Amino acid sequence: MNVNVSLSNGEKNYIIDGVQDGMRADGRGHFDYRPIFIESGVLATTDGSARIRIGTTDVLVGIKAELATVENTQEAVNRIKFFVDFSANATPQFEGRGGESYALEIANTLYEAYNNDNVLPDLSKLILSKTHMWVLYADIVLLQYGGNIMDAASLGVRTALADTKLVNVVVRPADEGKLMVDLPDERKLWSLDVSKVPLVVEASKIGDVSVVDATIIEENCATSSLFVGIMPPECDYNPSAPSVSDDDCVLTLVRKSKGGSLELESIEEMINTGVRAARELNKALIKRLNEEVMEPYKPTIHRSQTFLH
Amino acid sequence: MINEEQCVVNCQYSMATFSVPDRRNKPRGDRRGNEFTRLLERAFESAILVKNYPRSQIDIFCEVLEADGGNLAACVNAASLALADAGIPMRGLVTAVECGSVTGEACADLSSREHSDIVSRLTVATVGGKDEICMLDLKNIIHKDHVPQLIKMAMDANAQIHSCLESAVLIHMKKCYALSKRC
């Protein structure tokens, strides 16, 4: 996505030459991320929420579970519904429907990354009866645009899903042979298993190298970019599992974004970059979340703030 | 006919889809959202010293992240603070509050649980915490005799909100002034 930024040719050359020499404008290397802030449990009106800041990019994610009555839950599509909104607060260009096409790209990409039966094994628990099911909505609002929306959104969705608490319901018979959903006497909450949730990163091609976490200016200098989504291998969150190399990682998404054309070698290099970055990001996230003191669920808002490197 | 010499105040009222307990499908573009957008524009057009900005546009974008009643009023208050932070001169800080009554007994600052079809709600915005009303919006029906009491309640509430916002702006200003003094 290209937010309107005025860059002269001299500036563009400076950025591209710097990146090719391994030094980005803010001193980072190709695989370095800007400081990442993660907060979870920030919205009272949602079942799960998170706020992610990467550099100046600020993303708010809310997960809502709604009870749906369908003809036949076996035939219904059982996937998370993603909705992304680019707020006009990020840049006036997004006023009204200005950001709609960019937002749709993010939403559809996330949908594709999550569109298989392996990433969220608990999806089957969402089916309550032949006609009732929970539908999960992941709503993402972009509050500030600093480049690299995809990584922030994907981190946000993962954190918000981990924060999501769904209430246990019972299915009772109702009139005319139908069924109804009711709350049991003992109220219990359950969480989703998010260990296999995909992390999507954007690898941008600047000059002839690929970088991750492009700033808004670097995005304007990139020829093209690739969204790479991996399903984290078990060894990254379970030390006793057999180790898996980057080459044996399972991808759930590979999608080219922006204009420009890429050669096969570039695509391979960008995929490797993406996989490596996504794995490191996931490992850092898990390590940091494990270091946090796990507090029992409170009815009020529970805030936890984590730094990633 | 648009007068090109004038300053245009452009607002947008948007509510995040997760901001309400029953999920919304679209953040903006609905009738009520557009209504609120126009109300915000008219309110700030009268408060901002637009003569200082000919042939320019001032954008005010409001994004409601969690809605619990008094959304329009909250947007007005937030926009006033944002305009003060931006250094845009106004005739006074614009404050707003949503008041309602059922049987004529006025209540200030309704929450969303107090919203219903039988509760008449009035959102009133004033400039500088004084008696000048720059925005007035009624939802549902109200008996003519109940209106003065409701407006009086709103004015009193606005005066209090104004002193609150004013002290916040002064504290912020002092902090910024202290920073610039050091440089």
Band (A302; pLDDT cuts 50, 70, 90): very low
Lowest mean pLDDT among B36-50, B129-143, B169-183: B169-183
Reported confidence tier of residue A309, pLDDT bands at 50, 70, 90: very low
Give the residue-averaged pLDDT of A210-226: 94
pLDDT digits 0-9 by tens, A85-125 = 999 999 888 998 888 999 999 999 999 999 999 999 999 99
The SS3 assignment for B171 reads: helix
CB A191 within 8 A of CB A165: yes
**Given this model, what pLDDT does residue A296 score?**
46
* pLDDT at A308 exceeding the cut of 60: no
Res A52: pLDDT = 95
pLDDT at B165: 97
Q: Which of A129-143, A246-260, B81-95 has the lowest average pLDDT?
A: A246-260
- Give the C-alpha separation, A297 to B10, whole Å: 43
Q: B 1-40 residues with CB below 8 A of A?
A: 10, 12, 14, 16-21, 23, 27-29
Predicted pLDDT of residue A303: 47
Tokens found for residue A107: 């939403």
* CA dist., res. B62 & res. A134, Å (int): 31
Supply the pLDDT for residue A290. Answer: 76
Contact yes or no for B58/B17 (Cβ under 8 A): no
Q: For chain A, what percent of residues have pLDDT higher than 70?
A: 94
Hey, what are A272's tokens?
A: 């490797």
Q: Which residues pair with B37 in a beta bridge?
A: none
DSSP string, A240-281: TSPP--GGGPEEEEEEEESSS---HHHHHHHHHHHHHHHHHH
Is B78 at the interface with chain A, CB within 8 A? no
pLDDT at A209: 94
Q: What domains are there in chain B, each with its CATH number?
A: 8-182 (3.30.230.70)
Neighbours of B172 (CB within 10 A): 13
Q: Encode B27-51: b = buried (16+ Cβ within 10 Å), e = exposed.
A: bbeeeebeebbebbbebbbbbbebe
C-alpha A51 chain-centroid distance: 11
Q: How far apart are CA B27 and CA B17, in angstroms?
A: 6
In the predicted model, what is the mean pLDDT of chain A? 89
Closest among A212, A197, A198 to A269, alpha carbons compared: A212
HSE-up (13 A, CA, CB side) for residue A37: 11
* Nearest-Cα residue of chain A relative to residue B58: A92
Q: Does A85 touch chain B (CB under 8 A)?
A: yes
**What's the DSSP call for residue B90?**
B
- Please provide the distance, in angstroms rounded to a whole number, between the alpha carbons at the two ends of chain B: 48
Question: For A240-253, what is the mean pLDDT?
Answer: 89
Put simply, whether A139 touches B (Cβ < 8 Å) is yes
The mean pLDDT of chain B is: 93
Residue type, B61: F
Q: What would the pLDDT profile of A149-189 be if each residue is shown by its tens digit?
A: 999 999 999 999 999 999 999 999 888 888 888 999 888 99
Number of H helices, E strands in chain B: 3, 6
Does the beta carbon of A143 lie under 8 angstroms from any beta carbon of chain B? yes
pTM: 0.90
Domains detected in chain A: 9-302 (3.30.230.70)
pLDDT at A61 over 90: yes
CA-based nearest distance A60→chain B, Å: 9
Q: Pick from B10, B14, B66: which is nearest to A45 by CB?
A: B66
Residues of B with CB below 8 A from A92's CB? Answer: 59, 61
Tell me the residue ranges of DSSP E strands in A155-235. 165-167, 170-173, 179-182, 189-191, 199-206, 209-212, 224-231
Q: What is the pLDDT of residue A240?
A: 85
Q: What SS3 state is found at B174?
A: helix
pLDDT of residue B108: 95
Does pLDDT of B106 surpass 60? yes
Q: Is A80 helix (H, G, I), strand (E, B) or coil?
A: coil
Q: What's the DSSP call for residue B112?
A: G
| CB within 8 Å of B5: residues ≥ 6 apart | B54, B55
pLDDT tens-digit profile of B14-69?
999 999 999 999 999 999 999 999 999 999 999 999 999 999 999 999 999 999 99
- Predicted local distance difference test score (pLDDT) of residue A245: 87
Query: For position B166, what pLDDT does the model report?
Result: 96
**Residue A2 pLDDT grade (very low, low, confident, very high; cuts 50, 70, 90):** low
Amino acid at the residue A178: K
The reply to whether A64 touches chain B by the CB within 8 Å rule is: yes
What confidence category does residue A32 fall into, taking pLDDT thresholds of 50, 70 and 90? very high
pLDDT confidence of residue B3: 75
Main-chain phi, psi angles of B141, to 5 degrees: -105, 155
Q: Which amino acid is at A230?
A: I
- CA-CA distance, A301 to A303, in Å (whole number)? 6
Given CB atoms, is A96 within the 8 Å cutoff of chain B?
A: yes
